[in-house]
Copies of this chain bind each other. A is one copy, B any other.
């Protein structure tokens, strides 16, 4: 059913094969060009000047891309202040998420905090409590790293069954950016962690403060106190001017508007790590703490918001994969609901705790598909099915649903969120 694009003696077979097989890649070929006014006539855009270089000091997407935006789901939360919106992953490619359409999750809304008003305190079990201004932070040695940030609740609605119709809504609480910041280790060493200090409690400057406890081992490992993302200042909605980056761990711990870091002997057991961000199992016992985001993947196109609009023949099946425990080493794709699998191509070698893009170049002849993807990471872990996950975790959880997602692609190219048993 599939055709290989690699090693094909003549790649010209690509579109011709599609046409021969009943495809409709209509405009490819000189014949169609002859009657196409877009080819045979001089167009307006080729006969007049366009916009000058002073038009947009800071540019936005062209108006035709106005559907590639974050969206929230009104019924999901009581208000928009303690709420979520979703990255339009169905419409993106590559791995970097532009800040402008990267998901938001606030607990009391996005606050407006100037650099001049910014302070970061380190206190608790330290030799010397410290308070840093933004300018102070700019003087410490920096790192640059690309990491994904995923809300623990991403895909959470799917525990109860196929709920939300679109990859943006089922898997869009994720983004992937290049951060510039200071290793938290550097600041903690500056204050001098005392031997009894085994945890840090981190909180934000917003009203919710959203405090979380992080074991010292992680704090001293790869956590960043970040002030830039994708080269420029963090956006207001992502914690301007300073947020915590906790690679591979749930987004709730990536404290925005980072205000205070307290070194403690033990976890604080705050609201955000007891009644929230724990996972109730079938027997009523809650798993805590489930910091790491397990390996996961999703086909972003085709998908409910990105149906197949072209005819039969070549089809690019693409999606994203990630793991909070390491690098993605491979992604398998199934078109028959998990009965058989084919290895997809990674856009680039997997990077530690960052998104990977995968592609499967496929010859679609209009058959119904039950499209799935399955991520594998550098620890040897393989993404589980929904049934496997429910068997272990029951149905009470909200967070950490990393099961295999299924899109039912119909013969008309439209897709729906479904479950396969």
Contacts and interface: CB of A to CB of B under 8 A. Distances in A.
A314 B182 CA distance: 14
A164 interface: no
Nearest to A104: B53
Interface in A116-138: 117, 119, 121, 123, 127-133, 135-136, 138
A266 interface: no
Contacts of A5: 141
Contacts of A105: 53
A392 to B, nearest CB: 32
Interface string A135-153: 1101111111100000000
A391 interface: no
B357 A27 contact: no
A14 B6 CA distance: 55
Given A179-B94, A190-B14, A361-B141, A57 B71 contact: yes
Given A54-B72, A315-B139, A96 B45 contact: no
Given A50-B110, A205-B46, A357 B144 contact: yes
Nearest to A25: B136
A206 B111 contact: no
Copy tally for this chain in the complex stands at 2
Interface stretch (A35-43, A194-202, A323-331): A35-43
A104 B123 CA distance: 47
A79 B97 CA distance: 34
Interface in A210-260: 227-228, 230-233, 235-237, 240, 257, 259
Contacts of A206: 45-46, 50
Given A11-B189, A92-B231, A130-B29, A45 B143 contact: no
Given A100-B58, A129-B30, A178-B94, A142 B359 contact: yes
A119 B27 CA distance: 9
A114 to B, nearest CB: 6
Contact of A144 (B38, B95, B309): B95
Contacts of A91: 232
A108 B348 contact: no
A207 interface: yes
B99 A50 contact: no
A119 B43 CA distance: 12
Contacts of A25: 136, 139
Contacts of A65: 232-233
Interface string A78-112: 01110111000001111111111110111011111
A21 B345 CA distance: 55
Contacts of A22: none
Contacts of A50: 81, 106, 108-112, 206-207
Contact of A230 (B110, B111, B129, B230): B230
16 contacts: A11-B189, A28-B133, A30-B128, A33-B131, A46-B259, A51-B111, A53-B106, A56-B70, A57-B71, A59-B235, A92-B228, A92-B232, A93-B228, A95-B178, A136-B310, A142-B359
Q: Closest 8 CB pairs between A and B?
A: A50-B109, A52-B80, A144-B347, A57-B69, A11-B189, A93-B180, A50-B111, A45-B111
